[in-house]
Amino acid sequence: MSLRKGTKVWVEDRDSAWVPAEVAGFKGNQVQLVAGSGKTVLAMPEKLFPRDADEDEHGGVDDMTKLTYLNEPGVLYNLRRRYALNDIYTYTGSILIAVNPFTKLPHLYNVHMMEQYKGAPFGELSPHVFAVADASYRAMVTEGRSQSILVSGESGAGKTETTKLIMQYLTYVGGRAASDERTVEQQVLESNPLLEAFGNARTVRNDNSSRFGKFVEIQFDANGRISGAAIRTYLLERSRVVQITDPERNFHCFYQLCASGKDAEKYKLGHPSHFHYLNQSKTYELEGVSNAEEYMKTRTAMYIVGISQEEQEAIFRTLAAILHLGNVEFSPGKEHDSSVLKDQKSSFHMQMAANLFMCDENLLLATLSTRTIQTREGIIIKALDCNGAVSSRDALAKTVYARLFDWLVEKINRSVGQDLNSQMQIGVLDIYGFECFKDNSFEQFCINFANEKLQQHFNEHVFKMEQEEYSKEEINWSYIEFIDNQDVLDLIEKKPLGIIALLDEACMFPKSTHHTFSTRLFQSFRDHPRWEKAKFSETDFTLSHYAGKVTYHTDYFLDKNRDYVVVEHCNLLSSSKCPFVANLFCSLPEESSRSSYKFSSVAARFKQQLQALMETLNTTEPHYVRCVKPNSLNRPQKFENLSILHQLRCGGVLEAVRISLAGYPTRRTYSEFVDRFGILAPEFIDATYDEKSTTEKILKNLKLKNFQLGKNKVFLRAGQIGVLDSRRAEVLDNAAKRIQCRLRTFVARRNFVSTRAASFALQAFCRGFLARALYAVKLETAAAIFIQKHVRRWLMRHAYVELYSAVVTLQSNIRGFSTRQRFVHGKKHKAATLIQARWRMRKVRSAFKHHQASIVAIQCLWRQKLAKRELRKLKQEANESGALRLAKNKLEKQLEDLTWRLQLEKRMRVSNEEAKSVEISRLQKVVESLNLKLDASKLATINECNKNAVLQNQLELSAKEKSALERELIDMAELRKENAVLKSSMDALDKKNSDLANELLKAQKNTNDTIKKLQEFEHKCYNLQQNVNSLKEKLSVLEDENHIMRQKALVVSPKSTRRGFEKATVPEMNSGALVPHTHRKPEFESPTPSKMITPYSHGLSESRRTKLTMERPQENYEVLSRCIKDDIGFKDGKPSAACIIYKCLLQWRAFESERTVIFDHIIEGISDVLRVGDENITLPYWLSNASALLCLLQRNLRPNGFPPTQRSAGSSSLALRIAQGLSSPFKHGDGMSHLEARYPAILFKQQLTACVEKIFGLMRDSLKKELSPLLGSCIQGPKAARVHAGKSRSPGNAPQQLPGSQWDNIIKFLDTLMIRLHGNHVPSFFIHKLITQVFSFINMSLFNSLLLRRECCTFSNGEYVKSGLAELEKWIVNTGDEFAGTSWHELNYIRQAVGFLVIHQKRRKSLDEIRQDLCPALTVRQIYRISTMYWDDKYGTQSVSNEVVAQMRELLNKDNQNLTSNSFLLDDDLSIPFSTEDIDKAIPLIDPSDIELPSSLSGYSCVQFLAQHQNEIVRSSQIVAV
């Protein structure tokens, strides 16, 4: 790798494994680097890896083989970037890496998501575990070869959940075999919680860790349906039953049983802390998990798997016995090395264990505390000390639990059922991953041995996939070396000197210890390259595995490899009275000559199981899923680099990278290569260049060797992409230097111009400053002269003004004295005159008032006399009118009643108004009272003003009385104060008045709003009343129809009905028009109630049916058959077939017939035509005819539930109506009375409704089927077109498909559809509904594809799709609102998504702006999906900011916790968007009277009435013309 300043690299870090850095310089042999944190480090060049800076700008790649530099840090950080965006799945070729999110993501695993991945090519959609499962299923079906899916990873990585998802998907696509009545898929899925309860436990790293290996083999039949299943288990951790460490737990089933309530009481169980096998750890509960609920789930799973109630009771009784057995403690006995029960508590638990095992308590105690040895002389019984008795107790507990677990697995296999004839299987392997702890013992040795085996298989598969890739591209790969780990496998398992063989040999000798075993290992493998001796231990050894070196402690190797089976235990429990326990120990071990303890090698048995597993895997096509645990705290959004890097090594992912590096790790399509490295040789890129030859010229021009040119890709060896990038960086640097040179020139010239302009400005400023200084001196001189002049003038004028004012003052005083003397004399004269006037006025007023009072008294006495006279007259008249008074009183009472009723009716409506009016009147009264107070205060003020005037006059009159004047002045001052107080009170009253006026306005406004709301409410009530009336009318019609159906159902006897079902046949007609009903299959199934009604003709007996058939002429059926099968076209836009059928049925009185099969004949005829005919022609034609016929029936038929009147009357009335119909134009609606329809006619209308709905659904599904491949090519623009359009490299004369041609195909498809619909005169109502659903399907398909395919979420692709949507908008506008009114709104989701893709400066948009302005219709989950998948392939811009992504992730986490999250995909609309009433309202009136008789039907006599009617119409028109 060539390094220079500015090169982007990866450098090792102690805390983060790898960190990004940039080359800053060189110091000797070392490279000086600047890390991303700003820290400067030194490193050797060979320890650095190249880094592509462009990959940091987007959310990583979905397939790691697409990485520019396929190396360890590139893989690590690609996973990190995708995990930060909740993209937990990533491909490495065909290998799926799944990072545990530690949070619920239900939107990724629903049924809709499974439907998207069903049948999709592998790699086309985003990485997903469903894609791996689907690939295995499709490969099995197409190739007929069994498949296997290997799921591996460390504890807590999500292996078990991944296995569940794989089985869930296989169940979804495979389902259940049609011939199998058992729910195989449900039993397979429900076996998971059962095996989890008995085989999973909490460990330090995981709350639900599988403590056994599981291989689920799902078997399929020839049709790809699940036909059976089998489960194999490996290496159950039996020691966990008797020994656990804090904070781990025992197996889940023990805790579930303790929390079972009544069952726990029945078995004398309590809290787990009371039992030795459970209280070794203080962890009894799991966070978020209820043991009681899990217990019920386990019981439910047992029922589904097929475990009976008795067997369930026996299982949990056995578990309880194990718990009680663990509480049995021993103490030293009286004899040497003997043991007895420690206390009463131990005796109680021993008794409970014996009772639950249903065996003898003394025998159980004897088997635990003694040991039997077989000698030549006989049997010797040896007592065991306390430690031996405890070991015997624990051995019994482990044996019982292991056999119970094996029984459960066998029971599940028997219950699910194995298909022995199955030739195709898919095996799902859920097995422990590579383990390397601080202390590694025998379990880690076995687990790592299994992983070495699987890694060898994995390496072979990866190498095989590389070979297939090379072979497909037809390149030479024969010299590539293969990395193998066979040497370490030989070290472990090879006989006779493998580790396992030596371990079994050491276990055979009783005196062997781990020291002798270690010495033997050191002697045998001293020179082996994979073997090392531990530095600080004499017995430990180190093996170099594929994932790294692991040091094993041999202290317990021999003990854990020995699997003793005590014969006495087996004999005791095999004789148990409990059949279940006896069945667990039915097979007794072989007899031994010396001891009752039988040795069995765990390692040898595990090796055999592993060999069988590998043989099974070698016969299948493997698929790999590597599960990764992101952190040790089990928390979401926390990514620990060192831990994950270790897991990638242990999972073999980095080994796969090494295999790829051994060959051609970098592969690019020719278009991608030319697009990136074409700048290295622009002379080779002309108007007619070829991408492959251009690629070869570029590589040869750079003198690169050992590359390979395939059919579609170029393959580069390791390091060559670095050379290309280095050379590309040099070209870009040179270009950047040239740009910088031009830019510096521009900047220097701009600085020079600005400096010159500044100097000019400075010179001008200096000259201006000097000129302004000279001007200021001259201005000051002129100002001084001007000031002196004005000062002199002011002094002279001041002296003159003083003299003038003194003279004026003297004159004014003299004139004032004389004037005051004249004023006093005049004032006295005026006061005397005023007093005289007031006195004379008072005398005259008193005389006037006296005369006025006398006149009023006389008038009152006279009026009193006249009133008494009138009263006497009225009393006399009242006595004469007594009779009239009674009538008046009666009318008044009636009036009062009517008034009361009227008031009662109005009271509810005006209650709110009265409340408001009372409030308004109260406020008005308050305002009026305040106005009165205001007027009084104003009057008082006026009076005070008058008083002031009087006082002023009195002051003038009493000028000489000085003391009185002073008192009056004091009174006036007080009055002024009072006046001020009154003014202030008046101002306050004015303010209150204005406030009350404002409140009055608000109250009036509220009253107006209330009145408006009341009016709106009355309008709504009126509309609701109308709706209720219409519903009542519909209900009455339905009640009439149901009444008829009930009457008809009562008429038919049960015997005849059964006979009709058993032998419902129709005699064959000569023409063969009718088919026996027993051989017909219903073509349509309607969601309407007619679906539940058996056609009445099926209930007729054979003789009755024959009679009815013979009543109808054979000719009628032939006419209907010809009318249905032949395309007789349209007349003036009206469907001729529907009109002729309706008029024939009307003429033949079919609607009033009590018994007829003609309607069934019509429905079956239409079904046959739809089944046989061309969909594009038949469906639109019969949609138009069937809807027209339905409208005629809906508008002209009325149900009649009463028995028919006399035959003659009915016939005459029907004949009269037919005559009227033939002699006058056809009437509809209110112009024609409705026909009284009988039961068959009503049933026919319901069947016809279902027929119309089915035809519409078939047309919609057919259009979607034709449209799907067109949409698949429209979601992503042609790659060549995008590349060439951006760089203008398209050949000059070569024909090239434009980007919009795919959308043109959709436009042509829609135009063809409209032509087809218009040609068949389909009503605009159906066209509008159909086009709307088609555009809804377009929106759903494009939007889902956009969210599932990352290559579609690009800027250029958004422009491409946006241009296509514009074409669709033009088509909608040209089509018109009548046929495509709301179709544009159906594309709302894809329009907003594409609009988000093509906007610039996404990083400046906030989440609120995106949700409210850009994408209001999209959910947060959908916006998050688009934002994280987006990448700009045109301008290199970035997606939304990290803050917006964090906000969306927080919202999604809340949704996940509330379990309200939905899928980000859209669902397809499969509903029927109309009803019979909608059709009746939307389709215009149809007049069938002017339909001409087709020539094909002119030969039938039963339809000659149509010809006669047509002749009458012609003659009438001729007469009118004359």
pLDDT digits (tens, 9 = 90+) for 1249-1271: 888 888 988 888 888 888 888 88
700 pLDDT more than 60: yes
Tell me phi and psi for residue 20, to 5 degrees. -75, 145
- Is the bond into 50 cis (omega within 30 degrees of 0)? no
Q: Please state, in angstroms and rounded to a whole number, the distance separating the CA atoms of residues 1186 and 1255.
A: 9
pLDDT digits (tens, 9 = 90+) for 628-668: 989 878 788 888 888 888 888 777 777 667 666 666 777 77
Which of the pair, 815 or 1064, is modelled with greater confidence? 815
Q: What is the pLDDT of residue 1412?
A: 87
The pLDDT confidence band at residue 688, using thresholds 50, 70 and 90, is low
Contacts of 1258 (CB under 8 A, 6+ apart): 1170, 1175, 1179
1214 pLDDT more than 70: no
pLDDT digits (tens, 9 = 90+) for 112-131: 788 888 888 888 888 999 99
82 pLDDT more than 90: no
In order of 154, 203, 277, 286, 1089, the CA distances from 246 in angstroms are 20, 9, 12, 14, 64
Q: Please state, in angstroms and rounded to a whole number, the distance separating the CA atoms of residues 981 and 524.
A: 123
From the list 853, 869, 665, the residue with the least C-alpha distance to 70 is 665
Q: How would you list the strands of the sheet with 708-709, edge to edge?
A: 666-669, 713-716, 708-709
Tell me phi and psi for residue 381, to 5 degrees. -105, 120
Q: Please state, in angstroms and rounded to a whole number, the distance separating the CA atoms of residues 44 and 51.
A: 16
275 pLDDT more than 90: yes
- Residue 1513 has a CB neighbour count (10 Å cut-off) of 15
| Choice among 86-90, 595-599, 982-986, 1224-1228 with the minimum mean pLDDT | 1224-1228
Amino acid identity at 1152: E
In order of 111, 832, 842, 843, 844, the CA distances from 838 in angstroms are 112, 10, 6, 9, 10
Q: Please state, in angstroms and rounded to a whole number, the distance separating the CA atoms of residues 446 and 434.
A: 10
Q: Please state, in angstroms and rounded to a whole number, the distance separating the CA atoms of residues 1094 and 1084.
A: 13
Percent above pLDDT 90 for the chain? 14
Q: Is 283 a catalytic residue?
A: no
Burial 1077-1099 (b: 16+ CB within 10 A, else e): beeeeeebebeeebeebebbbbb
1460 pLDDT more than 60: no
Which residue is associated with the tokens 């169980």?
269
Tokens of 503: 């371990």
Give the pairing of strands 666-669 and 621-628.
unpaired
CA gyration radius, the chain: 52
Q: Please state, in angstroms and rounded to a whole number, the distance separating the CA atoms of residues 1384 and 1371.
A: 10
Q: Please state, in angstroms and rounded to a whole number, the distance separating the CA atoms of residues 1128 and 1137.
A: 7
Tokens of 144: 């007929």
Contacts of 1082 (CB under 8 A, 6+ apart): 1167
Q: What is the pLDDT of residue 1481?
A: 76
Q: Please state, in angstroms and rounded to a whole number, the distance separating the CA atoms of residues 96 and 153.
A: 12
Active-site residue, selected from the candidate residues 7, 146, 155, 1249: 155
**Residue 1093 DSSP symbol:** S
- Residue 917 has a CB neighbour count (10 Å cut-off) of 14
Q: Is 1060 exposed, middle or buried (0-12, 13-18, 19+ CB in 10 A)?
A: buried
Q: What is the pLDDT of residue 973?
A: 80
Q: What is the pLDDT of residue 1203?
A: 39
Active-site residue, selected from the candidate residues 59, 60, 156, 663: 156
Q: Is 433 a catalytic residue?
A: yes
3-state SS, residue 586: coil
Tokens of 380: 């010797």
Tokens of 369: 């505390």
Q: What is the pLDDT of residue 1074?
A: 30
Contact 359, 204 (CB under 8 A): no
From the list 559, 554, 517, 557, the residue with the least C-alpha distance to 537 is 554
Q: Is 435 a catalytic residue?
A: yes
1226 pLDDT more than 70: no
Which residue is associated with the tokens 């059928």?
1141
- Is the bond into 496 cis (omega within 30 degrees of 0)? yes
Q: What is the mean pLDDT of the chain?
A: 79
Contact 1434, 1356 (CB under 8 A): yes
Is the pTM higher than 0.75? The answer reads no
Which of the pair, 551 or 1479, is modelled with greater confidence? 551
Q: Please state, in angstroms and rounded to a whole number, the distance separating the CA atoms of residues 77 and 648.
A: 12
Q: What is the pLDDT of residue 801?
A: 92
The pLDDT confidence band at residue 1045, using thresholds 50, 70 and 90, is low
3-state SS, residue 1379: helix
Q: Is 542 a catalytic residue?
A: no
Which of the pair, 54 or 552, is modelled with greater confidence? 552
Active-site residue, selected from the candidate residues 7, 94, 171, 210: 210
Active-site residue, selected from the candidate residues 90, 209, 539, 554: 209
pLDDT digits (tens, 9 = 90+) for 755-772: 999 999 999 999 999 999
Active-site residue, selected from the candidate residues 206, 369, 1121, 1196: 206
Which residue is associated with the tokens 């082996």?
528
pLDDT, mean of residues 1049-1070: 36
pLDDT, mean of residues 1238-1244: 79
* Highest mean pLDDT (candidates 200-214, 1157-1171, 1322-1336, 1471-1485): 1322-1336
pLDDT, mean of residues 686-702: 79
The pLDDT confidence band at residue 555, using thresholds 50, 70 and 90, is confident
DSSP 3-state percent helix, strand, coil across the chain (nearest 5): 65, 10, 25
Nearest 5°: the CA angle 1355, 1357, 1362 is: 95
Q: Is 156 a catalytic residue?
A: yes
The pLDDT confidence band at residue 744, using thresholds 50, 70 and 90, is very high
Q: Is 483 exposed, middle or buried (0-12, 13-18, 19+ CB in 10 A)?
A: middle
Q: Is 160 a catalytic residue?
A: yes
From the list 1114, 1123, 1125, the residue with the least C-alpha distance to 1074 is 1114
pLDDT, mean of residues 772-782: 93
pLDDT digits (tens, 9 = 90+) for 352-386: 999 999 999 999 998 888 888 777 676 778 888 88
424 pLDDT more than 60: yes
Q: What is the pLDDT of residue 1085?
A: 37
The pLDDT confidence band at residue 482, using thresholds 50, 70 and 90, is low
Which of the pair, 210 or 627, is modelled with greater confidence? 627
From the list 138, 133, 135, the residue with the least C-alpha distance to 109 is 133
